[in-house]
Amino acid sequence: MNKKYKYLSKNFILFGISSFGPKIIAFLMVPLYTNCLSTADYGIGDIVSTSANLVLPIIILCIESAILRFCFDKEYESDEVISSGLFVCLKGMVLCAICTIIIGIIPFFKINTSYLVAFYLMVLSTGLYNVLTNYARGIDKVQYMVEMSLITTIASCVLNVVLLVVLKCGLNGYLIANYLGTFMAVAWGSVRLKIHKHIKFNKVNRTTVKELQKFGFPLIFNKIGWWINSSSDRYIVTWILGATANGIYTVSYKIPTMLTACSDIFTQAWQLSAIKDFDPEDSDHFVADMYEAYNGFLVLCCSMLIILTIPFAHILYAKSFFVAWKYVPPLMISFVFGGLAGFLGSIFTAVKDTKIFSYSTMIGAVVNTILNFVLVSYIGVMGAAVATLVSNIVIWLVRLQRSKRYIHIRVNFLKHTIMYILLVVQFIVCLGGFTIVPVIIQLIILVALIAANRKLIINIMRKGKIMLAKYLHR
């Protein structure tokens, strides 16, 4: 069991470096964006990037996830997996290029050419980046993925400063910085992984290609579902309320990104452990303990960040963007359930049941879309945030129920439900502003949540003390 925790801890640290650092840097870049871009420009830039994220899984058939999973199977040679996977990826990129050119030629669409070029280059750079980083994870070279993550973040930040502040390139500069930084990371990763030695035409195996596509295809609907849950609301907000409202709503995601950063770190590390050490009986309570700890961590972080929403908004949101703080609390809570759904998703990856991904996320997507049209029309931007929250809860519930087919997680769900209710109460109270009474009530809720997770906190402190003692005695 100790080996399981050590393996998870090692990957957690590496993924922490690759995810948390870049997310914090991107978080700190928000004041630059809100000062250099108008709300409309920021909204358009978001539409371009979210459109690229929607098209990408369809174009490459989620082949990056298949590459990660099949590199763990001893019956498949890693060179064969990456060669076959990259073949599928590049074939999709050619198709995407043709479709982009056709759209640019047809007068009906009337899309700015620079936006189309940026869209395609985002798809190409992100697709190659995802393939290389997942291959690195699959062959247990997570440190190379860390390097790529840091390079794309640092390069994008430097390019944003140069293009937005120095050269005053506006929206086009913002888009260029995003995809050019990713291309730099792809170039670095190709060298570090010595990818030219592993990609061989004679290693492209038809059977392997079919198996990779069979695994990845259901994940397309999962990706689309998550895209609908996290991005379609921006299209609906733009359509009903305009690009300015979408710019404000998009900015409201930046504070929840802090929680997402923590969630992504653990989910990525946990995915490797779930694949490598899956035990249907959970005889050593490894899965249950991890779920309990992860749930408590997300809830406590969410509660603290809701309390600090308005102070953070004063620092991060310039001018007309400040009103975005109102939409942060429900998005914070929605990311808690998104994180828990991701935890359960790793179990389905381990047993190669990718159909549940599409099933659960598409149900959530339908709920999200219906609620968006209804709620945005009646209560404005807040309706989009609430719709995202409800849809993430639905996805979590569906996956929790389905996971019982493969593993029984023995945790106190009644206690968890009470904690979630307290978070919703805190969200409602937070709308009263950063005044004495609302803040006191929120602090009381936070104390109650800390008390509910006292065993977890004590355990973390105990282990931290042991680790510190070992370090000092070296």
Render 137-164 in DSSP notation, one character per residue.
HHTT-HHHHHHHHHHHHHHHHHHHIIII
Q: Residues 39-61: pLDDT tens digits?
A: 788 778 888 888 898 899 899 98
Q: Residue 282 has what pLDDT? A: 61
C-alpha span between 300 and 309 (Å, rounded): 14
Half-sphere exposure of 12 (CA within 13 A, CB side): 13
Q: Residues 189-212: pLDDT tens digits?
A: 999 999 989 988 888 888 899 989
Say yes or no to pLDDT of 119 above 80: yes
Q: Residue 288 has what pLDDT? A: 80
Say yes or no to pLDDT of 472 above 60: no
Angle at 131 between CA 339 and CA 86, to 5 degrees: 145
- In percent, the amount of the chain with pLDDT more than 70 equals 92
C-alpha span between 302 and 445 (Å, rounded): 12
Q: Residue 464 has what pLDDT? A: 59
Q: Which of 427, 39, 53 is nearest to 251 (CA)?
A: 39
Asked if 275 and 287 count as a contact pair (C-beta separation under 8 A), the reply is no
**Residue 21 — pLDDT band, cuts 50, 70, 90?**
low
- For 382, the token pair is 């807040």
Phi, psi of 279 (to 5 degrees): -135, 105
Asked if 402 and 351 count as a contact pair (C-beta separation under 8 A), the reply is no
Cα distances (angstroms) measured from residue 55 to each of 89, 361, 381: 13, 17, 25
Q: Residues 343-372: pLDDT tens digits?
A: 888 888 777 777 887 888 889 989 999 999
Q: Taking residues 215-238, what's their average pLDDT?
A: 81
DSSP letters along 346-395, please?
HHHHHTT-THHHHHHHHHHHHHHHHHHHHHHHHHTHHHHHHHHHHHHHHH
Q: Taking residues 295-300, what's their average pLDDT?
A: 91
More confident position, 337 or 38: 337
Lowest-confidence range among 99-113, 115-129, 252-266, 371-385? 252-266
Q: What per-residue string of b and e applies to 129-153 under the rule 16 or more CB within 10 Å gives b? A: bbbbbbbbbbbebbebbbbbbbbbb
Say yes or no to pLDDT of 187 above 90: yes
Q: What per-residue string of b and e applies to 4-26 under the rule 16 or more CB within 10 Å gives b? A: beebbeebbebbbbbbebbbeeb
Say yes or no to pLDDT of 253 above 60: yes
C-alpha span between 204 and 463 (Å, rounded): 47
Asked if 383 and 372 count as a contact pair (C-beta separation under 8 A), the reply is yes
- In percent, the amount of the chain with pLDDT more than 90 equals 35
* Arithmetic mean of pLDDT over the chain: 85
Q: Residue 129 has what pLDDT? A: 95
C-alpha span between 97 and 378 (Å, rounded): 40
**Residue 77 — pLDDT band, cuts 50, 70, 90?**
confident
Q: Taking residues 389-411, what's their average pLDDT?
A: 88
Asked if 89 and 131 count as a contact pair (C-beta separation under 8 A), the reply is yes
**Residue 337 — pLDDT band, cuts 50, 70, 90?**
very high
C-alpha span between 74 and 78 (Å, rounded): 9
More confident position, 441 or 314: 441
C-alpha span between 441 and 412 (Å, rounded): 25
Q: Residue 363 has what pLDDT? A: 92
Residue bearing tokens 């390139």: 169
**Residue 27 — pLDDT band, cuts 50, 70, 90?**
low
C-alpha span between 349 and 288 (Å, rounded): 17
C-alpha span between 433 and 95 (Å, rounded): 50
Region class of 5: left (phi > 0), else alpha (psi between -120 and 50), else beta: alpha
Residue bearing tokens 């339908």: 366
Rounded to 10 deg, the angle between the 286-307 and 436-452 helix axes is 170
C-alpha span between 231 and 233 (Å, rounded): 5
Q: Residues 442-457: pLDDT tens digits?
A: 999 999 999 988 887 8
Asked if 330 and 386 count as a contact pair (C-beta separation under 8 A), the reply is yes
Say yes or no to pLDDT of 422 above 60: yes
Lowest-confidence range among 241-255, 274-288, 450-464? 274-288
Lowest-confidence range among 71-75, 88-92, 424-428? 71-75
Q: Residue 137 has what pLDDT? A: 87
C-alpha span between 48 and 259 (Å, rounded): 24
Asked if 383 and 375 count as a contact pair (C-beta separation under 8 A), the reply is yes
Q: Residue 471 has what pLDDT? A: 47
